[in-house]
Amino acid sequence: MTTVPTPAKGLEGVVAAATRLSDVRGDIGQLIYCGYDINELAGKVTFEEVVHLLHHDHLPNRQELEELKGLLAVKRELPKGVVNIIKTFPKDTPPMHAIRTAVSALGCFDPEADNNSMDENRLKALRLIARIPMITAYFHRHRQGKSLLPPDPSMGEAANFLYLIDGEKPSAEKIKTLDMCYVLHADHGMNASTFSARVTIATLSDMYSAITSAIGTLKGPLHGGANEGVIKMLQEIGSLDRVDDYIAEALAQKKKIMGIGHRVYKTLDPRAPHLKRMAQILSAKIGEPKWIQMSERIAELMLNEKNLHANVEFLFRHGLLLARHSDGPVHADLCHLANGRLDCSRAGATGRQPVDPPAKPVLRSGRIEGGAD
Ligand SMILES: CC(C)(COP(=O)(O)OP(=O)(O)OC[C@H]1O[C@@H](n2cnc3c(N)ncnc32)[C@H](O)[C@@H]1OP(=O)(O)O)[C@@H](O)C(=O)NCCC(=O)NCCS
């Protein structure tokens, strides 16, 4: 008699690939990028430095960093055809639909879309990193009926995104907050959207198709879409004094509280304290403590009631909300990846493991001077 194999629940425990990029240690709440503990990077290096680390396996020296920043800045401009497509989107379409469709359209305007050589794919990756924030900002301006601004090549990725959204030079605090959000979301092992992208690219399809698959997956409420759910929930609750009743009622109805719980981290997500600190600083600065207070109370209740921690979607939303200082649901960037039920497949980490004490970037005047190798 043949026995039917039992499928792993949500691919739990299945090692689907090996990677040197990141190692997610859910049991001890540790996240490592190319040998660096995230705690050694957050607040000390910029998103562009992390991009260099992930692409070249070492932190950049000054010259490498300037080259990368220059490359990203010149690659931002969107093809006119893609801008025109964005302008035809219904203003009330959810942002993730707009971003997914515009990224897919980028492939139609790239004559090298199907050239899968390593050199060409490296360039495509940079183009996507530079252009997805442009798409996001342009869709946001379009739906508000505002003009679409040209990118500012003198600004880094986080600053330029905020500038394009708000139409004014962002403050240093806002840039720092968003930049840290980018750093903390730059890689996360074999999460659901990465898994989708890898399945697509493994058929020898092209990078635009792979990232389109990934964005479609990221959009789901159990994955990156949870952060939109968090803001909807906070708006629905409305004030701190209503939090306890709302949560009690939701739990009684067996509803999932968005932004709480994690498939892999069974202790506190190591990215959470960084986002929380930044959100607190910014919240104190702009004098809008209500959202933070409500979030802290929800997190406290969920820890007490269900022994579940707030996840990065919960805190990401606050970082972004406060960085923008508005409640418009702007969602997702290429680097924004998190976990959901389907992302239980794993990547075996093949990269350098952090040494004890962990390797630290060499910082001089707040800037990395030497590679990390
Ligand atoms: C992320 C998520 C999909 C993980 O699901 P999971 O692996 O099944 O979670 P666990 O096995 O740890 O769940 C343990 C228990 O807590 C409950 N639980 C988990 N997350 C919960 C939440 N956010 N709200 C209420 N209850 C929750 C489960 O239903 C389960 O209850 P049970 O034992 O009575 O069946 C889930 O926590 C979730 O849906 N969270 C909300 C969406 C979200 O924020 N997603 C972004 C993740 S970064």
* CA 252 to the chain's CA centroid: 32
Ligand 1 closest atom vs CA 10:
7
Closest Cα to residue 207, out of 133, 337, 113, 78? 113
Domains of the chain: 33-223+341-349 (1.10.580.10), 226-323 (1.10.230.10)
Helix (H, G, I), strand (E, B) or coil at 364: strand
| For residue 325, pLDDT beyond 70 | no
Q: 308 CB under 6 A from ligand 1?
A: yes
**pLDDT at residue 342 in the model:** 32
Calpha distance 323→326 (Å, rounded): 8
Q: Are 190 and 343 in contact (CB under 8 A)?
A: yes
Site to substitute for ligand 1 among 308, 314, 337, most atoms within 8 A of C-beta? 308
Ligand 1 closest atom vs CA 344:
7
What CA–CA distances, in Å, run from 78 to 72, 73, 116, 185, 221?
12, 12, 21, 23, 29
User: Tens of pLDDT along 54-101?
Assistant: 999 999 999 999 999 999 999 999 999 999 999 999 999 999 999 999
Q: Which residue's CA is the closest to the ligand 1 atom numbered 6?
A: 263
Q: Which residue's CA is the closest to the ligand 1 atom numbered 1?
A: 262
Structure-token pair, residue 210: 């792979």
Q: Are 164 and 146 in contact (CB under 8 A)?
A: no
Structure-token pair, residue 291: 């959202």
Distance 245 CA to ligand 1 centre (A): 20
User: Tens of pLDDT along 1-55?
Assistant: 678 888 877 777 788 888 889 888 888 889 999 999 999 999 999 999 999 999 9
User: What residues have CB less than 8 Å from 248, skipping those under 6 apart?
Assistant: none
Ligand 1 closest atom vs CA 256:
24
Calpha distance 42→45 (Å, rounded): 6
Q: 257 CB under 6 A from ligand 1?
A: yes
Site to substitute for ligand 1 among 251, 253, 306, most atoms within 8 A of C-beta? 306
Q: 258 CB under 6 A from ligand 1?
A: yes
Q: 262 CB under 6 A from ligand 1?
A: yes
Q: Are 152 and 163 in contact (CB under 8 A)?
A: yes
| For residue 369, pLDDT beyond 50 | no
Number of C-beta neighbours around residue 122 at 10 A? 12
User: Tens of pLDDT along 248-257?
Assistant: 999 999 999 9
Q: 226 CB under 6 A from ligand 1?
A: yes
Q: 256 CB under 6 A from ligand 1?
A: yes
In this structure, of 108-117, 146-155, 183-192, the range with the lowest mean pLDDT score is: 183-192
Structure-token pair, residue 169: 């030079």
Distance 235 CA to ligand 1 centre (A): 21
Q: 72 CB under 6 A from ligand 1?
A: no
What CA–CA distances, in Å, run from 189 to 16, 22, 113, 181, 320?
11, 5, 25, 17, 23
Calpha distance 47→335 (Å, rounded): 9
Residue 310 DSSP symbol = B
| For residue 357, pLDDT beyond 90 | no
338: left (phi over 0), alpha (psi -120 to 50) or beta: beta
Distance 238 CA to ligand 1 centre (A): 24
| Cis, peptide link before residue 357, omega less than 30° from 0 | yes
Site to substitute for ligand 1 among 263, 269, 316, most atoms within 8 A of C-beta? 263
Output 219-222 pairs: Cβ under 8 A, ≥24 positions apart. 219/96, 219/97, 219/100, 219/332, 220/192, 220/340, 221/258, 222/340, 222/341, 222/342
Q: 135 CB under 6 A from ligand 1?
A: no
User: Tokens 């990756």 map to which residue?
Assistant: 125
Structure-token pair, residue 102: 């515009």
H or E element in which residue 322 lies? helix 312-324
Q: 261 CB under 6 A from ligand 1?
A: yes
Distance 24 CA to ligand 1 centre (A): 18
Site to substitute for ligand 1 among 219, 247, 260, most atoms within 8 A of C-beta? 260
Distance 309 CA to ligand 1 centre (A): 10
pTM for the full predicted model: 0.81
| For residue 320, pLDDT beyond 50 | yes
Q: Are 74 and 153 in contact (CB under 8 A)?
A: yes
User: Tens of pLDDT along 98-141?
Assistant: 999 999 999 999 999 999 999 999 999 999 999 999 999 999 99
User: 291 pLDDT band (50/70/90 cuts)?
Assistant: confident
**Is 342 or 308 the better-scoring residue by pLDDT?**
308
